[in-house]
Chain A
Amino acid sequence: QQQVKQSPQSLIVQKGGISIINCAYENTAFDYFPWYQQFPGKGPALLIAIRPDVSEKKEGRFTISFNKSAKQFSLHIMDSQPGDSATYFCAASRGDKIIFGKGTRLHILP
Chain B
Amino acid sequence: KAGVTQTPRYLIKTRGQQVTLSCSPISGHRSVSWYQQTPGQGLQFLFEYFSETQRNKGNFPGRFSGRQFSNSRSEMNVSTLELGDSALYLCASSPAVGGNQPQHFGDGTRLSIL
Of A15-23, A57-65, A100-108, the one contacting chain B is A100-108
Chain B residue nearest in CB terms to A51: B100
Interface centre among B90, B99, B101, B103 (most CB of A within 10 A): B99
Of B11-19, B70-78, B104-112, the one contacting chain A is B104-112
CB pair A100 B44 closer than 8 Å: yes
Q: Mark each residue of chain B from 1 to 12: 1 if its CB lies under 8 Å from any CB of chain A, else 0.
A: 000100000000
B79 touches A (CB below 8 Å): no
Bound: A99/B100 CA distance, A: 11
B51 touches A (CB below 8 Å): no
Q: Mark each residue of chain B from 46 to 61: 1 if its CB lies under 8 Å from any CB of chain A, else 0.
A: 0000000001101000
Interface residues of B in 5-46 (CB under 8 A from A): 42-45
CB pair B90 A44 closer than 8 Å: yes
Chain A residue nearest in CB terms to B102: A46
CB pair A49 B98 closer than 8 Å: no
Could you tell me how many residues of chain B have their Cβ less than 8 Å away from some Cβ of chain A? 22
- Note all chain A residues with C-beta closer than 8 A to B101: 32
- The residue that B42 contacts in the complex, of A45, A96, A102, with Cβ under 8 A, is A102
Q: Mark each residue of chain A from 84 to 101: 1 if its CB lies under 8 Å from any CB of chain B, else 0.
A: 000001010111111111
Please report whether the interface of chain B is mostly helix, strand, loop or mixed according to DSSP.
Answer: loop
Q: Given A96-B56, A100-B44, A101-B42, is A43 in contact with B99 using a C-beta cutoff of 8 Å? A: no
A-side interface residues toward B, CB under 8 Å?
Answer: 31-32, 34, 36, 41-46, 49, 89, 91, 93-103
Q: List 25 A-B contacts (CB under 8 A).
A: A32-B99, A32-B100, A41-B107, A42-B107, A43-B4, A43-B105, A44-B103, A44-B105, A46-B102, A46-B103, A89-B42, A91-B43, A94-B99, A95-B97, A95-B99, A95-B100, A96-B56, A97-B45, A97-B56, A98-B45, A98-B100, A100-B42, A102-B42, A103-B42, A103-B43
B-side interface residues toward A, CB under 8 Å?
Answer: 4, 42-45, 55-56, 58, 90, 92, 97-108
